[in-house]
Structure 1
Amino acid sequence: MNQCAAIDAFRLLVLVACSAPAAWLGWQWFFGDLGAVPGEAVVHVTGKTGQVLLLTTIAFSPAFRFTGWVGLMATRRQIGLWTFFWLVAHMLAWMGLDQYWDWPWIRREMVELPYIRYGVAALLLLVPLAITSFARVRQAMGWTAWHWLHRLVYVSAALGVAHYWILTRADYLLPSLFAAVLAALVLFRLIDAAIHRQ
């Protein structure tokens, strides 16, 4: 298999992997297997999926450094847009299935609950990244400005981890894992930047 075919196959794999949770949620919803509060289950699944994909997007850069395979960078924008999709779905699921579009109550929750504020901030930081993820926009901005803007992904990921950590009540295994992965990725970024400055 040549490199182009391998990249196309990897793109297809990314498409299947990123869309699979939607198929699973639809199946579980249709057959009533999402538990006593299905809306809450949808909120949780969409949020966890978005956070996993966000960390995966960040991890593709060090993975490329280690492997040199261009397929990782070729699909990073694809995963980034899927990340944005899932986190928007998470927000909409929370507003619609959990808060029933009660806008006064939603505003009150955003003001009073820190983890909601962190989650909203994390999503808002991804908006300019999604808008500027296309090649023409990147060319218009210039590489340096685009590169600096897209470092906001680390801030968004940290806010996402804080959001998940605060709302967790008992089992901290997954939020701890998210925090550890993010810390490792940030450390790699700092070491890599220091090496390339020398």
Structure 2
Amino acid sequence: MTQRTAIHAFRLLVLMGCSAPALWLAWQWFYGDLGVVPGEAVVHFTGTTGLSLLLITIAFSPAFRFTGWVGFMAARRQIGLWAFFWLVAHMLAWMGLDQYWDWPWIRREMVELPYIRYGAAALLLLVPLALTSFRRAQQGMGRTAWHWLHRLVYVSALLGVVHLWILTRADYLLPSVFAAVLFALVVFRLIDAAIHRQ
């Protein structure tokens, strides 16, 4: 198998892996297997999926550093856009299935509840990253400015973890795992930057 074929196969696996949760969610919704409050289950599922993919997006750079395989970098934009898709779906599910598009109430929730503000801020930070994720944008901005902008992904991920942590009421295993993964990725980034600065 040539490297190009391997990269295409990997991108196909990313496509299948990132879209499969939507099929599972639709199946669960259709058969009524999302619990007593299906709308709330959809909100939590889309948020968890989006945050997971966001962390995987960040993890693709260390994976490339350790393995040297360019497939990780070739698929990083793809999986990053999927993370953005799922987090937008999370916000829309919250507005529609949880808040019933009650805009005055939505605005009140955003003002009064810190975890809503953290989540909204995390998503807003991803908007310029999604809009500039294409090669033409990178060429137009210049490589240095583009890289600095896309470091906002770490801030967005941190806000996402804080959002989940505050929202959690009992079992902190999942937010703890997310926090530990993000911490490890940030430490790797700092060490890698220090090494390449020398």
TM-score by length of 1: 0.99
2:105 is matched with which residue? 105
Q: Distance in 1 between matches of 2:195 and 2:9?
A: 34
CA positional deviation for 1:157: 0.2
2:24 is matched with which residue? 24
1:194 aligns with 2:198: no
1:14 is matched with which residue? 14
Deviations 1:16-54 (A, max 9, x none): 100011000100001111111100000000000000000
1:131 aligns with 2:131: yes
2:79 is matched with which residue? 79
Q: Distance in 2 between matches of 1:123 and 1:173?
A: 23
Give 1:35's aligned amino acid.
G
2:146 is matched with which residue? 146
1:168 aligns with 2:164: no
Q: When the two structures are aligned, how many residues end up with a matched partner? A: 198
Give 1:93's aligned amino acid.
A
Q: Distance in 1 between matches of 2:139 and 2:51?
A: 28
Give 1:130's aligned amino acid.
A
Q: Distance in 2 between matches of 1:150 and 1:15?
A: 22
Q: Distance in 1 between matches of 2:76 and 2:98?
A: 31
**Superposed, which structure 2 residues align to 1:53-64 within 5 Å?**
53-64=53-64
Q: Distance in 2 between matches of 1:106 and 1:164?
A: 18
Q: Distance in 1 between matches of 2:60 and 2:25?
A: 26
Q: Distance in 2 between matches of 1:71 and 1:139?
A: 21
1:42 is matched with which residue? 42
Deviations 1:121-166 (A, max 9, x none): 0000000000000011110000000000000000000000000000
CA positional deviation for 1:89: 0.1
RMSD: 0.4
Q: Distance in 1 between matches of 2:146 and 2:111?
A: 32
Give 2:92's aligned amino acid.
L
Secondary structure at the residue paired with 1:100?
coil
User: Which ranges in structure 1 are unaligned for 5 or more consecutive residues?
Assistant: none
Q: Distance in 2 between matches of 1:168 and 1:148?
A: 32
TM-score by length of 2: 0.99
Runs of at least 4 residues off by over 2 Å: none
Give 1:196's aligned amino acid.
H
Secondary structure at the residue paired with 1:75?
helix
Q: Distance in 2 between matches of 1:69 and 1:190?
A: 21
Give 2:63's aligned amino acid.
A
CA positional deviation for 1:197: 1.1
Secondary structure at the residue paired with 1:193?
helix
Identity of aligned residues (%): 84
